[in-house]
């Protein structure tokens, strides 16, 4: 009866040893692979942890361990990017703490159509148009298609042949540029 109890504990120790060996062997390679595809270090660490968590929880035999690990890693990267919410136009006029004292959106939802609101709308569109023209064409096109025309990234990727990651990156650079340019206008309007 004692022999029956020692076999599972020996198997558990062997499994623990194998898991530790796999983690030690593949951590550095997988992290390098992830970092090339993810810009945020915290996200990269989360993805690596998720990969090893899935490995530890796997109950089926793995014939080609390296291929399995890299496939799972690629899938986790894709999942993380799908969950990542791209920056929106609304993000450009929010203060750092999320509070706003002047909100560009108020101009568009104001139905009073008074001359001051119309004037501010025109100033906004002129500033946005000028800032968009300062962007490289690929960044400008992605921003306009996604943010203004509402075309999903998947559709843009199919039309252009670019990856969704590339499109997200281009839009991010566009948003950062536009945020900076429109914040100057916003400050002028608030201080006058």
Per-residue pLDDT tens digits for 54-98: 888 888 888 888 889 999 999 888 888 777 655 444 444 444 444
pLDDT tens profile 19-45: 788 888 898 999 998 888 887 888 889
Domain range list for the chain: 2-83, 89-191
Taking the domain 89-191, which CATH number applies? 1.10.10.10
Scanning 36-112, the segments in alpha helix (DSSP H) are: 41-57, 65-83, 104-109
Residue 16 confidence (pLDDT) above 70: no
Q: What is the pLDDT of residue 11?
A: 52
Q: What is the pLDDT of residue 7?
A: 45
Least confident of 3-12, 93-102, 156-165: 93-102
Q: How far apart are CA 175 and CA 184, in angstroms?
A: 14
Residue pair 120/133 in contact (Cβ under 8 Å)? The answer is: no
Cα separations (Å) of 190 from 57, 70, 100, 185, 186? Answer: 56, 52, 11, 9, 6
Q: What letter does residue 147 receive in the DSSP assignment?
A: I
> Which CATH class, in words, describes the domain spanning 2-83?
mainly alpha
Can you tell me whether residue 86 is helix, strand or coil?
coil
Residue with tokens 């990727």: 157
Tokens found for residue 92: 């450009």
């Amino acid at each position: 009866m004692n022999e029956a109890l020692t076999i599972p504990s020996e198997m558990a120790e062997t499994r623990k040893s194998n898991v530790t060996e796999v983690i030690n062997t593949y951590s550095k390679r997988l992290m390098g692979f992830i970092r090339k595809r993810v810009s945020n270090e915290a996200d990269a660490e989360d993805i690596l942890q998720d990969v090893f968590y899935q490995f530890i929880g796997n109950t089926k035999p793995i014939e080609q361990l390296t291929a399995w690990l890299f496939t799972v890693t690629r899938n986790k990267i894709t999942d993380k990017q799908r969950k990542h919410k791209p920056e929106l136009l609304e993000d450009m006029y929010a203060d750092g703490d999320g509070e706003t004292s002047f909100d560009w959106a108020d101009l568009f939802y104001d139905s009073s159509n008074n001359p001051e609101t119309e004037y501010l709308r025109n100033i906004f569109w002129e500033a946005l148009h000028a800032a968009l023209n300062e962007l490289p064409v690929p960044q400008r096109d992605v921003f306009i298609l996604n943010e203004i025309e509402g075309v999903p990234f998947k559709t843009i990727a199919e039309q252009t042949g670019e990856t969704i990651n590339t499109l997200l990156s281009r839009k991010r650079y566009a948003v950062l540029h536009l945020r900076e340019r429109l914040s100057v206008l916003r400050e002028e309007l608030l201080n006058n």
